[in-house]
A and B are shown apart, each in its own frame.
Chain A
Amino acid sequence: MSDSRRNFLLKSFSASSAAWLTANWPAQVAAAQKAQALGAFTFFSRAQAADVDAMAAQIYPTTDTPGAKEAQVIYFIDLALVTFAQDKQEIYTQGLTDLATKTGGKPLGSMPAADQIALLTSIEKTPFFRTVRDHTIMGMFSSPQHGGNFQKVGWKQIGFDDSLNFRAPFGAYDKA
């Protein structure tokens, strides 16, 4: 088992019943389910996934609370790139090639954290970084059915209750 293989959690797709994805991209979702059940990816190669995973981990780091890694954002992005975000594939392919040039081909995640942050800061204005940033946040805070926000870790952090059925009072100031 390679390092990068061990770094990824095995993805259970049982929660992924997203009607919107399966209705519109059935083949892609089926392929992703098959691949991710084996710890593999649909769009990314293993090495690419490791780099994007490392980027996401700096964008939304693990602190005293879970970060992008624990939320399994990488699976959200991999699925997004073969479904609703297909138009962003080229940005990733080119961006990862450019990133490899900057790291000298080393996996981003193998570098010291400070070096990773410095490198990412140097590219933070690029369309590639901005796209990964937005996708990371979307993977943190969209419904778990899309592959990220594993066990609602993102929602819990920002106090979002997805019951979709509430009675007033809602907050601290409208309590009677």
Chain B
Amino acid sequence: MKTFNPSEDVDFVVIGSGAAGGVMAKQLALAGFSVVVLEQGGWGAYGHEQDYTKDELSNRFPTEQDALISNPKKHRNTFRRNVNEKAVAGTHNYGCVVGGGTVTYGASSWRHLPYEFDEASRFGTMAGTGIADWPLSYAELEPYYTQAEWEIGISGPNLKTPLIAPMSKPYPCPPLPLKSSGALMMKAAAKLNLTVTPNVAAIITEPMNGRSACINCGMCSGYGCQVKARSSSAVALLPFAVATGNCEIRVNSYVREINVDASGKATGVTYFDKADNNREVFQKAKCVVLCANGTESPRLLLMSKSNRFPQGLANSSGLVGKYLMAGNGGGAGGLFSDPLNEYKGCVTGAAVLSYVPNDVKGRGWYGGGRMTARGQQSPMQYGLAGPRNAPSWGAGYKKALIEQANRKLTMVNFISQLPLETNTVDLDPDVKDAWGLPALRITSTSHENDIKAIRFFIDKSVEILKAAGATEVWADQVNDSRGGSHARGTCRMGNDPKSSVANKYHRAHDVPNLFIIDGSSFVTGGRNHPTMTISALAYRCADHLVKAAKTGNVTI
């Protein structure tokens, strides 16, 4: 791998190596630019993926160098429902390894629908919310979705239905197995007239680019993939960036500030080298590309205070960190008479698409959601959580645990959430992380409309599980979100610098050579399946950046 001296003025420094950072690194390096990718996590099993553990115990208690996900005890974060509360210790975490969250995620890869890009024009705004149009249309993004799906490797059904976005090209791979959970959804669909499809996933089902098809090992979400079937940035993108000889991936590099000069241009970034006693390093760069995720990107901008930018970098609008959509869910569980064996295969078998579209008149709330059926529980996790309606230990526990094993199915739903200015990521004034930086503070309470949406999906889940023939069904409690890996909206794009942080090409309105691409770019949240759209946005941004940089000016 090519390496650069930090004093070398590289063309691009990319902060983060996940869904967006992987695409940016690959596209910029392929175009011939020098790129340094700074990743705060370690290598994981990059390049020797067969060494990813499938052992549940060591995956649950990883040592620091083996961890794939951030540790809230070190990456301390806090949570509160509103500004009147004192924030308490939070459990928010995210992928923290080369490849970011794509190394361990469930890999659902749904496109946003055309009507999720211009919601204000189409449906109007709603008092107290930040519903706004994106500065780009679905038609503009469509070619980049296709490019992303084919380059990264997505499997899915080829359907023509208004319930999914129109595609100019089918998916490169046929879908993953439907599983018993999916078959049961099909049974319910026949009774309730629902549209159910196999899931769309960033997991390949046929060999591709030297990677193996999925072998349905089942130790999937939360684990690294041993056969490179999951199309993480670490196997689908970054090796191609490194192979150009133009790209260095630098691990254990925890960025604490994006530096600027007196004219307000970014000059590079300052990071802690976690592997070298947290030594501070300044990496010089002509252009900074921020892809640190929907919570860490705004946090880094807010930490990058200077005389010129006293309220944080790129924050003249005051909107950095605002309009957080952390991601709402809520569903139900059921038991069936025979074993589903959901522990085999990837986490999601099928999706129920019928309630994706809006139906304000019919339902009394705005938005929609995608429902998924799953029942994956690894053995220890199943034992620790324990069986339904049983004691937590003793003979009764054991009897129920054995009887209910492999018979559970859960509806896990991905539900729209309105952007509210009051839902934020900011810097906790009292708590520091393990590196002495201000802790991430999340403030979030969903709009009343969204609580109605959660209730709707809980009720629908109960109805579907009953129609599928469950012998027992239980509804989830309504749980408003508290954080998580689907954070969106915190550096929203837009045409007006007063009401957005970055322009339609992801350039920060205030800083000509700073680009922000990840979940934070979202204006509205879609149906809470963000990754495919993050990938497509990154391909589009990279296309623009390459053209602009080749003319010698990234500030266009």
- Residues of A bordering B, CB below 8 Å: 18, 20-21, 24, 58-61, 63, 65, 67, 84-85, 117, 124, 133-134, 136-138, 140-143, 145-146, 154-155, 157-161, 164-174
Residue on B with the closest CB to A145?
A: B55
Query: Is the Cβ of A137 less than 8 Å from the Cβ of B398?
Result: no
The residue of chain A having its C-beta at the shortest distance from the C-beta of B176 within the complex is: A168
B393 and A60 contact, CB distance less than 8 A? yes
Q: A84-B61, A138-B384, A158-B379 are in contact. Are A173 and B345 (CB under 8 A)?
A: no
> Would you give the shortest CB distance from A162 to chain B, in whole angstroms?
9
Q: How far is the CA of A138 from the CA of B54 in the complex (A)?
A: 15
Of the stretches B105-113, B136-144, B156-164, B400-408, the one at the interface is B400-408
- Spot the interface stretch: B31-39, B177-185, B364-372: B177-185
Determine how close the nearest CB of chain A comes to the CB of B499; give it in whole angstroms: 48
Contacts A137-B380, A166-B216: A174 and B393 contacting too (C-beta < 8 A)? Answer: no
Contacts of B55 in A (CB 8 A): 18, 20, 142-143, 145
Q: Once the chains bind, are B402 and A169 in contact (CB under 8 Å)?
A: no
List chain B positions with a Cβ less than 8 A from chain A: 53-58, 61, 63, 66, 177-180, 182-184, 187, 215-219, 336, 338-345, 379-380, 382-384, 392-395, 397-399, 401-402, 405-406
Q: How far is the CB of B214 from chain A (nearest CB, A)?
A: 10
Given contacts A138-B57, A170-B216, contact A158 B382 (CB under 8 A): yes
When the two chains form their complex, are residues B344 and A166 in contact, meaning their CB atoms are under 8 A apart?
yes
Q: A168-B216, A171-B339, A172-B339 are in contact. List 6 more A-B contacts (CB 8 A).
A: A20-B55, A58-B393, A84-B61, A141-B379, A167-B216, A170-B216
Give the dominant DSSP class at A's interface: loop
Decide if the interface of chain B is mainly helix, strand, loop or mixed.
Answer: loop
Query: What B residues does A124 contact at CB under 8 A?
Result: 392-393
Contact for B57 among A136, A143, A154, A169, CB less than 8 A: A143
Residue of chain B at shortest CB distance from A133 = B393
Residue among B56, B342, B392 making CB contact with A170, cutoff 8 Å: B342
A171 in complex: contacting residue of B57, B180, B383, B397, CB < 8 Å: B180
Q: How near does chain A come to B18, taking the closest CB pair, in angstroms?
A: 25
Q: Which residues of B contact A65 (CB under 8 A)?
A: 402
Q: A20 — which chain B residues lie within 8 A by C-beta?
A: 53, 55, 57-58, 63, 66
A115 to chain B, nearest CB (A): 14
Q: Are A174 and B398 in contact (CB under 8 A)?
A: no
Are A170 and B384 closer than 8 Å at their CB atoms? no
